[in-house]
Amino acid sequence: LVRLQPQEIHGLTLEQTNRTIVLARQPDSDQWMIESPRQVAARTSQVQQVLDVLATARIEAFLEPLESEREALGLQPPLYTIHVFNTPAADLRPATPAGQIIQFGTLASNGLLHASVPGETSVYLVSADLLEHIPFTAVRYRSPQIFSIRQDELRGLRLTIGDTTNGVDFGSEGPAPYPADHKLQLDTVKDTVSQLQQLTAQTLVEEDPKSLAPYGLDKPFASLQITLSGGAGISKTLAMGRGKGPSLYATVLGTDLVFTMPREVVEILTAPLSIPPAIPVPPPGPASEDAPETDDG
């Protein structure tokens, strides 16, 4: 939802019915502190709920309606406004214009919450019963790494370790063929997966394993580039994790599992996948190469 590097996020504000909470990041730390001097304890849960929306896995995207269409769709006025700052914490003020604003409201027809980023083309719907799934202390900088995708939008994956030149592409029907000069054979894929299983990801921002336990995740350690069907260059990066067992797996957001992937661990991919077409298999024909090419047999 928020396309900022974790180190670029210095604070945010939460506004509800003309009340404002300001959160700032402590210097040289991954902890948040609430700077609002009034009713902090009473409103901490509100901050938690809104931040949890950013980190929830079940997000369904659709085209943002025009302002004139909102009433027809039953969109009520926003309940919350989050302002994500990319200015130093010392400059945090509710009126600071720099940053992005995410608005949360309710959909009158079904009671779902929606979040919209002004200027973007998507509105995100989240079920209200998901608001309390992630502890506030575990959210930290998770929201910039969480993206949403519908499973039917999936057209390809790229598994990477280290730099993008070590990518392994997969199409929607399985492992994709490679050009001859790519030199990525099955053994290379196995070796890459083996390396991923051995990584420890020492640079993880999230250090609390309890926050990952509800999702069956050990420390996440790799990324997946998701290529959508919307056109060239459209991609989203999710994380791949290892569960409590020995198996390696990846699940698209929206299918019961949330992924957390600090951007310090692996590069965020920006290039779309380039999956070459499969080589067509010629139909059975005459065994002799000198057979005439006729249609009359």
Domain with CATH 2.60.40 in the chain: 6-143
* 50 C-beta neighbours (distance < 10 Å), count: 23
Give which of 33, 34, 25, 35 is closest to 5, Cα–Cα.
Answer: 25
* Token couple for 8: 């670029």
- Burial code (b: 16+ CB inside 10 Å, e: under 16) for 113-138 equals bbbbbeeeeebbbbeeebbeebeeeb
- E strand or H helix at 225, and its extent? strand 222-227
Residue-wise pLDDT tens for the chain (297 aa)? 233 333 434 444 444 333 344 444 444 544 444 444 333 333 344 444 444 444 332 222 222 333 444 454 444 443 333 333 333 333 333 333 333 334 444 433 443 334 443 333 233 333 333 323 322 222 222 222 223 333 333 333 344 333 333 333 333 333 333 333 233 333 443 443 343 333 332 222 233 444 444 444 444 433 333 333 333 333 333 334 333 332 223 333 222 222 333 222 222 222 222 333 334 445 556 654 454 454 455
Strand blocks (E) in 42-155 = 60-63, 80-85, 100-106, 113-116, 122-126
The answer as to CATH 1.20.144 being correct for domain 6-143 is: no
CA separation, residue 135 to residues 50, 132, 230, 232 (Å): 11, 7, 34, 37
Q: Contact 74/109 with Cβ under 8 angstroms? A: yes
pTM above 0.75, yes or no: no
Q: For residue 254, which phi and psi values (nearest 5 degrees)?
A: 100, 0
Number of DSSP helices (H) and strands (E) in the chain, helices first? 4, 14
